[in-house]
Amino acid sequence: MTDASQFGKKIGMIREKLKVSAPGRICLLGEHQDYFGLSILAGAIDLRLTITGRANNQDIIRLNLPDIDDYQEFPLNTELAYSQARDYLRSGLNIVYRLGYRFSQGWDGEITSTIPINSGTASSSAMVVAWVKFLLEACGAPEATDIEKIAELAFEAEVAEFKEPGGKMDHYSSAFGGIIFISFSQPLRYELFKSPLGEFVIADSRQRKDTTGTLAFIKNNVLSGVQQIQKKWPEFNLHSPLTPETIEEINRLDKDPRRLLLGTLLTRDLTLEGRKLFQNSPFDHQKFGQLLSEQHHILREYHQISTPKIEAMLEAALEAGALGGKINGSGGGGCMFVYCPGKGKEVVEALKRLDTHPFIIRIDEGVKTEE
């Protein structure tokens, strides 16, 4: 295997200072679809996580994380044992180490972020995406400019390494930025759109959520429903059309597999409708708002992941002029967002009255090295 520290020196990519940032994301359409191999439509947002670093002359990385009052340090050029669940900083180092790359110098760095934590805006994925790019840049790896490779490595470090139930939506959204449509059927395919979108307002409900537990519950019940239907129709799968006959068969399932499987298929078709919207010109902003609200209806009624506070927040935002909106992320708390071009200030004021922390956001670029 190549000693990449030597390769990095040869091509002159070793740096003395580094600053890398990656955006959070909102899932526009397609919640709980990526880990089933279905499609999503997502947008990177101008809330970003930033990693700054300066090279040192030691074989160690030292990191300050002031946002969470934490400090961590790691030896370099060795496989690291994990000290806690979801030990993403160590897993990122391990993924790069297994690629064969080695560091010729250590780093002193800091991680800061404006992305709400545990609120459905992909804060952890943005960190892993930025961290993977930072490490690849630091050791002079040519993959540091390969956005798709960065997304795949970030998925390995965050999800596959710890055998968690999530998919690749967050990593691709944060890596590529902008508006992205991704079909996760094999082989994975993605389509990037130039954003025609105006202001959003996002607000944190301040309600903690159980992302991993929610994903596992939905995944297990949907797959159970598919397996039960396949006993009668072996050809049935999550890409099968939603016909009256299919709905009749789904309605014979137990309560949780029934609602979650039907909600998954309704979301699948809604996401494809959203893709067509972004392919058309001129862009229909009113229709886009309607699709967001339709997605929320499915998530509330079928996935049952909304909360009374999220509902009150959406109602207040719509009354203040938003065109539509939805809960964001795994659900059960966290953030909601609304699309409100030209009405951002009014929506922010309405949401402030509900003990939330709202702010205006816009679509932003993906992971990048800043000079």
Instruction: Please indicate, yes or no, whether residues 85 and 188 belong to a single structural domain of this protein.
Output: yes
Q: Average pLDDT of 175-204? A: 94
In three-state secondary structure terms, 172 is helix
Q: Answer with the one of 164, 196, 228 that is the final residue of a domain.
A: 196
Query: Are residue 55 and residue 166 in the same domain, yes or no?
Result: yes
> Do 301 and 191 belong together in one domain?
no
Q: Could you list the residue range(s) of the whole structural domain that residue 283 is in? A: 200-361
Q: How far does the chain reach from its first CA to its final CA, in angstroms? A: 32
Q: Is 368 part of a structural domain of the chain?
A: no
Q: Is there a single domain that holds both residue 17 and residue 163? A: yes
The pLDDT tens digits for 75-127 are: 999 999 998 889 999 999 999 999 999 999 999 999 999 998 877 788 999 99
Residue 371 domain-assigned (yes or no): no
Residue 229 sits in the same domain as residue 92: no
CA dihedral 328, 334, 339, 340 (to 10 degrees): 180
Three-state SS at 42: strand
Whether residues 168 and 223 share a domain: the answer is no
| Rounded-to-integer distance, Cα 51 and Cα 92, Å | 14
Give per-residue pLDDT as tens, 221-239: 999 999 999 999 999 999 9
Q: Please report whether residue 338 resides in a domain.
A: yes
Domain end, chosen from 196, 218, 252, is at 196
Q: The whole model's pTM is what?
A: 0.89
Q: Are residues 174 and 251 in the same domain?
A: no
Residues 6 or more apart in contact with residue 244 via CB below 8 angstroms: none
Instruction: Say yes or no: 275 and 312 in one domain.
Output: yes
CATH number at residue 269: 3.30.70.890
Inter-axis angle of helices 255-279 and 211-230, to 10 degrees?
A: 100
Position 161 in a domain: yes
Residue where one domain finishes, among candidates 170, 196, 222: 196
- pLDDT tens digits for 308-358? 999 999 999 999 999 999 998 777 788 899 999 999 999 999 999 998 989
CB neighbour class for 57 (10 Å; exposed up to 12, middle 13-18, buried from 19): exposed
Residues 167 and 224 in one domain: no
Q: For residue 370, is it within any domain? A: no
- 19 and 71 part of one domain: yes
Going by the DSSP 8-state scheme, the letter that residue 239 receives in this structure is: T
Asked if residue 287 and residue 185 are part of one domain, the reply reads: no
Q: Closest by alpha carbon to 202, among 362, 67, 342?
A: 362
DSSP 161: G
Shared domain check, 169 and 125: yes
Residues written for the chain: 371
Considering its fold, how many domains does the chain have in total?
A: 2
Distance of CA 250 to the CA centre of its chain: 29
Q: Is residue 183 part of a domain?
A: yes
Please provide the average confidence, as pLDDT, over all residues in the chain. Answer: 92
